[in-house]
């Protein structure tokens, strides 16, 4: 067995041991196909107030600028689909990815162990781990490494289990065996486009982030525009509409990661529980949760946006 094959086997075995659902590998290089669309997306201000999207443009397109000597991008998917969803009487809705612990913390811990194990088994490696908080086009790399295709809603979709996955990467200086991209299986389906409450999916695979409910309820720091308040569909943290209607998610299976188990009592919170939440309760209830990203003031703003003026 040659070194490339051996190292690839070690990496895929370790990904499985750590509980990742899928692992794919692509050759590190410039993302030529994504360069122009990203530039146009930014020029049209579809990132809204997400100023960080304007930064590190070159690094977003070339991982070799993030890791010296980078040769491979290892993409990893971790399933977060829950066994149970919010009680239908809850009224206010939060995205499924935020039911449990903050995924950044859960996955970063796994990736740290991943890199340590690789160094033990292979030797010194120059590499970095990334989870949705650095200038890496994670969905583009996951697509390039054959883990799925880019859906019309801009999410990566796997043929086996749909799209309820977190994406993470290891960018390393090892030559490996690379996986091939897979076919796009969306066909003529437009369910995600048709179902989006704010018409944020302006073209297949192009989402105007400044119109997305997730943007309004998490990223936006100012007041939610009045003309969008009646389109929020009771979402107060994130939005799952474009995933919930996707036919491929009929194959979604509950994830096995203990850290994503719903926080105690969260699924049964009623409208009054959300409306009466104090800052003290918010801090205690959502300790270690991604929901803390919006802050207590942001959550109260989101809830208030649903009330009739």
Active site residues per annotation: 132
Residue 150: exposure state from Cβ atoms within 10 A (0-12, 13-18, ≥19): middle
Angle of helix 3-17 versus helix 103-122 axis, rounded to 10: 140
HEC profile of the chain: CCHHHHHHHHHHHHHHHCCCCEEEEEECCCCHHHHHHHHHHHHCCCCCCCHHHHCCHHHHHCHHHCCCCCCEEEEEEEECCCCCCCCHHHCCEECHHHCCECHHHHHHHHHHHHHHHHHHHHCCCCEEEECCCCCCCHHHHHHHCCCCEECCCCCEEECCCECCEEEEEEEECCCCCCCCCCCCCCCCCCHHHHHCCCCCEEECCEECHHHCHHHHHHHCCCCCCHHHHCCCCCEEECCCHHHHCCHHHHHCCCCCCHHHCCCCCHHHCCHHHHHCCCHHHHHHHCCCEHHHHHHHHHHHHHHHCCCCC
Q: Is 179 in contact with 26 (CB distance < 8 Å)?
A: yes
Which two structure tokens, joined as six digits, stand for 1?
């067995």
How many Å apart are CA 157 and CA 243, to the nearest integer?
Answer: 9
CA–CA separation, 116 vs 236, rounded Å? 38
């Amino acid at each position: 067995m040659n070194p490339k094959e051996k190292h690839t086997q070690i990496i895929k075995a370790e990904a499985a041991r750590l509980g990742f659902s899928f692992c794919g590998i692509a050759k590190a290089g410039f993302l030529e196909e994504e360069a122009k669309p990203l530039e146009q997306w930014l020029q049209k201000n579809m990132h809204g107030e997400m100023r960080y999207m304007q930064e590190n443009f070159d690094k977003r397109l070339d991982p070799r600028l993030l890791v010296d000597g980078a040769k491979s991008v290892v993409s990893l998917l971790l399933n977060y689909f829950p066994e149970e969803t919010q009680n239908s009487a809850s009224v206010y809705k939060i995205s499924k990815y935020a039911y449990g612990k903050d995924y950044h913390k859960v996955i970063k811990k796994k990736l740290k162990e991943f890199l340590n194990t690789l160094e033990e088994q292979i030797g010194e490696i120059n590499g970095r781990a990334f989870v949705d908080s650095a200038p890496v086009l994670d969905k583009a790399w996951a697509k390039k490494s054959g883990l799925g295709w880019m859906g019309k809603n801009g999410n990566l979709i796997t043929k086996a289990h749909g799209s309820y996955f977190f994406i993470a990467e290891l960018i390393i200086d090892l030559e490996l065996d690379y996986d091939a991209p897979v076919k796009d299986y969306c066909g003529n389906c437009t369910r995600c486009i048709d179902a989006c409450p704010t018409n944020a999916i302006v073209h297949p695979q192009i989402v105007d982030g400044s119109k997305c409910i997730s943007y309004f309820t998490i990223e936006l720091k100012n007041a939610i525009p009045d003309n969008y308040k009646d389109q929020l569909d009771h979402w107060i943290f994130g939005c799952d509409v474009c995933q919930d209607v996707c036919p491929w998610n009929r194959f979604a299976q509950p994830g096995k990661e203990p850290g994503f188990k719903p926080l105690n009592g969260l699924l049964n919170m009623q409208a009054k529980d959300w409306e009466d939440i104090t800052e003290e309760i918010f801090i205690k209830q959502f300790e270690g949760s991604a929901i803390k990203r919006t802050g207590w003031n942001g959550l109260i703003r989101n809830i208030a946006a649903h009330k009739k003026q």
